[in-house]
Structure 1
Amino acid sequence: MINNILPTIALPTTPTLSVAGLQCIRDDRVLFDNLNFSVSGGEVLQIEGRNGSGKTSLLRILCGLALPTEGIVYWQGQDILDLQGDYWENLLYIGHLAGIKVELTPLENLQVTRALASQTTDIDLTDALAIIGLRGFEDVPVRTLSAGQQRRVALARLLVCNVPLWILDEPFTSLDKAAIQMIEGLLDAHAQRGNLVVLTSHHTVNCQQARCLDLND
Structure 2
Amino acid sequence: MPQPSTHILEGINLSCIRDDRILFENLSFSLTAGQTLLLEGKNGSGKTSLLRILCGFREADEGQILWCGEAVEDSQYHADMAYVGHLDGVKKELTVLENLKVSLALGTQGTYSIQQALVRVQLSGYDDALVQTLSAGQKRRLSLARLLITHNILWILDEPFTSLDKQGIILIETLMTEHCANGGMIVLTSHHDIVLPDVSLQRIQLS
In structure 1, what is the equivalent of residue 33 of structure 2?
Answer: 41
Q: CA deviation at 1:9?
A: 2.9
In structure 1, what is the equivalent of residue 204 of structure 2?
Answer: 213
Pick one of 32, 46, 49 that aligns with 1:54: 46
Q: CA deviation at 1:143?
A: 0.2
Give the partner amino acid of 2:181.
Answer: Q
User: Residue deviations 1:126-178, cap 9 Å, x none?
Assistant: 22112101122221100011111111111111211111111111111000111
Pick one of 128, 141, 144 that aligns with 1:155: 144
Contact 2:95 2:128 in 1 (8 A): yes
Where do residues 57-206 of structure 1 align in structure 2 (5 Å cutoff)? 57-83=49-75, 86-117=76-107, 119-206=108-195
In structure 2, what is the equivalent of residue 23 of structure 1?
Answer: 15
Q: CA deviation at 1:54?
A: 0.6
User: Kindly, what percent of the aligned residue pairs are identical?
Assistant: 49
Q: Within 2, Cα distance between the matches of 1:22 and 1:56?
A: 14
Give the partner amino acid of 2:176.
Answer: L
Q: CA 1:77 to 1:128, structure 2 compared with 1: closer, same or farther past 3 Å?
A: same
Contact 1:46 1:205 in 2 (8 A): no
Unaligned ranges ≥5, structure 1: 1-6
Give the partner amino acid of 1:78.
Answer: E
Unaligned ranges ≥5, structure 2: none
Between Structure 1 and Structure 2, how many residues are aligned? 205
Q: CA deviation at 1:8?
A: 4.0
Contact 2:4 2:183 in 1 (8 A): no
Contact 2:111 2:151 in 1 (8 A): no
Q: Within 1, Cα distance between the matches of 2:92 and 2:8?
A: 35
3-state DSSP of counterpart to 2:65: strand
CA-atom RMSD in angstroms? 1.3
Q: Within 2, Cα distance between the matches of 1:82 and 1:67?
A: 15
User: Residue deviations 1:20-46, cap 9 Å, x none?
Assistant: 110000111110011011111111111
Contact 1:9 1:163 in 2 (8 A): no
